[in-house]
């Protein structure tokens, strides 16, 4: 494998067997070398396929100033995440996480702290991802002998969540805020406290997560229509959850210009009814 361009001593652009440009990383991989020189597989720590989509000029600029510490931490986090859940990782995801880790550490060392305003939501809506974030936080603190707070674990968790749902980080923020809004409507309308460790709460949050993804990707749904009789029975049986659903429906219509169909209303009623039942048991 020959060097096509040197970005720094540890990062070069090369060509793979199919003559496609790739980014190759390794400690001192370009030290005392020039364009056209060979590099061996033993020198390589990480490879990325180079494409206009995942490597615009700003990414090349980032990689020109990156150290392998950040690359190794990001890779360890993603490999750990793969052991815990099913992930379909793309090279652009690695680069986004490397970029985030480098920026966070540099800000911390400069004395700048960014509070994670949705840390509670991340802990409760993305509990598996947050556990991975805690793993990543420990890696960072141990490697750099610093004490970054749990807020950083939350930010890492959002990156993992975006990988899991094949979204960008901005979309994951959007989904998180959506879940926060709906759970708050239910909480205050029914005047309840959530049992965040309960199976019904987890199922409710999971339902909202996937519903929001459908909402943002396909505002118009294509569900088969429900038999009105079934919905009427559920509405009568769970009147308060149904009224709460109407409030949710209005919120979604006003904010996202989307109308909930009978299927979604039915599912929401059932989830909310189970949450309300859990609350009654907690207060007995």
Domain parsing of the chain, residue ranges: 1-53, 66-164, 170-281
Among residues 58, 59, 66, 56, the alpha carbon closest in space to that of 26 is found at: 66
Q: Does residue 51 surpass a pLDDT of 70?
A: no
pLDDT at 127: 92
Alpha helices in 191-257 (DSSP H): 199-217, 228-237, 239-256
Q: Please name the fold of domain 170-281.
A: PTS-regulatory domain, PRD (1.10.1790)
170-281 and 66-164 share a CATH fold:
yes
Q: Does residue 228 surpass a pLDDT of 70?
A: no
| Unique residue bearing structure tokens 């943002």 | 216
Q: Please name the fold of domain 66-164.
A: PTS-regulatory domain, PRD (1.10.1790)
pLDDT at 58: 65
| Unique residue bearing structure tokens 């959002």 | 158
User: What does the mean pLDDT of the chain come to?
Assistant: 85
- C-alpha 244/C-alpha 171 separation (Å) is 26
Residue 12 pLDDT level (bands cut at 50, 70, 90): confident
* Each residue's pLDDT tens digit, 145-175: 999 999 999 999 999 998 887 777 888 889 9
- Gyration radius of the chain's alpha carbons: 24
> Which letter, b or e, does each residue of 252-270 get, where b requires 16 or more Cβ atoms within 10 Å of its Cβ?
beeeeebebbeebbbbbbb
- C-alpha 11/C-alpha 16 separation (Å) is 15
* Each residue's pLDDT tens digit, 187-223: 999 999 998 888 999 999 999 998 998 888 765 555 5
pTM > 0.95: yes or no: no
Please give the CATH architecture assigned to the domain spanning 1-53. Roll (2.30)
Alpha carbon dihedral 177, 183, 184, 187, in 10-degree steps, equals -170
């Amino acid at each position: 494998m020959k060097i096509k361009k040197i970005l720094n001593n540890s990062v070069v652009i090369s060509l793979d067997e199919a003559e496609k440009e790739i980014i190759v990383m390794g400690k001192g991989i370009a030290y005392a070398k020039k364009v056209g020189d060979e590099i061996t597989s033993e020198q390589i720590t990480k490879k990325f396929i180079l494409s206009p989509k995942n490597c615009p000029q700003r990414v090349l600029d980032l990689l020109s100033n990156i150290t392998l510490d950040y690359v190794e931490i990001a890779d360890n986090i993603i490999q750990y995440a793969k052991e815990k859940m099913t992930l379909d990782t793309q090279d652009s995801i690695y680069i986004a996480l490397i970029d985030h880790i480098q920026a966070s550490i540099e800000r911390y060392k400069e004395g700048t702290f960014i509070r994670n305003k949705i840390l509670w939501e991340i802990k409760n809506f993305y509990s598996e991802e947050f556990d991975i974030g805690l793993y990543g936080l420990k890696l960072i603190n141990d490697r750099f002998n610093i004490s970054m707070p749990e807020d950083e674990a939350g930010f890492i968790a959002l990156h993992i969540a975006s990988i899991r749902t094949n979204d960008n980080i901005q979309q994951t923020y959007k989904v998180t805020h959506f879940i926060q809004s709906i759970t708050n409507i239910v909480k205050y309308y029914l005047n309840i406290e959530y049992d965040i460790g309960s199976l019904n709460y987890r199922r409710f949050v999971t339902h909202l997560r996937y519903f929001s993804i459908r909402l943002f990707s396909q505002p118009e749904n294509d569900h088969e229509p429900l038999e009105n009789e079934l919905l009427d029975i559920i509405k009568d049986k769970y009147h308060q959850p149904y009224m709460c659903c109407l409030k949710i429906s209005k919120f979604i219509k006003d904010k996202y210009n989307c109308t909930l169909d009978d299927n979604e209303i039915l599912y929401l009623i059932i989830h909310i009814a189970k949450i309300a039942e859990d609350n009654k048991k907690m207060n007995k």
